[in-house]
Amino acid sequence: MNLSAWLTTRLVSFFVIQILSIGVKVTLNLPVEQTQQAETRLVHLIFPGDTNHYHTLFGGKAMSWMDQAAFICATRWCRQKVVTVHSDAIDFHNPVPEGSIVELVAKITATGRSSMTVLVEMWVEPMDQPQRYLACQGSFVLVALDAQQSPVSVPKLEPVI
């Protein structure tokens, strides 16, 4: 694909030209691919204040971080106010030791008229080992709201072919 065709298919808005005292600054407003909008990643370090008396991550803290990741993912998807209306089973597979790094990966898996289903996985990366493992996963449903707190339409998730 040549540059002209690429620009034609990829530009969502127009060039913004700003005249500055030192010259001209050109800003391109390029679209974010739908697949990038459908996924959010957050990284946390497990500190002693995040753990229980077994020196592993509190389950409630994990659930809170998972809900935050789902919230950010859904907000980025629809660019509206969103609220969590449902959390499905959260399965804890492995403990998360103090001092570990965790990565939360949130992905839009389905959309309704005003709702989004977000799958969140929490991966553990021990600082002294190169392997990662799944600590827990859960599914969250969030709904987009307008200024009057009424449900509002969200972009449809197109299947990836």
- Give pLDDT, residue 38: 81
φ/ψ of residue 145, rounded to 5? -125, 150
Does 20 fall in a domain? no
Does 64 fall in a domain? yes
Does 15 fall in a domain? no
Does 5 fall in a domain? no
Q: What is the pTM of this model?
A: 0.76
58: containing domain? 32-145
Q: Are 70 and 142 in contact (CB under 8 A)?
A: yes
Mean pLDDT of 7-24: 35
How do residues 119-161 score in pLDDT, each as one tens digit?
999 999 998 888 999 999 999 999 999 999 999 999 998 776 6
Does 76 fall in a domain? yes
How many structural domains comprise the chain?
1
Q: What is the CATH number of the domain that holds 40?
A: 3.10.129.10
The Cα 59–Cα 6 span in angstroms is: 47
The Cα 14–Cα 150 span in angstroms is: 32
How do residues 24-70 score in pLDDT, each as one tens digit?
444 334 445 555 568 999 999 999 999 999 999 999 999 999 999 99
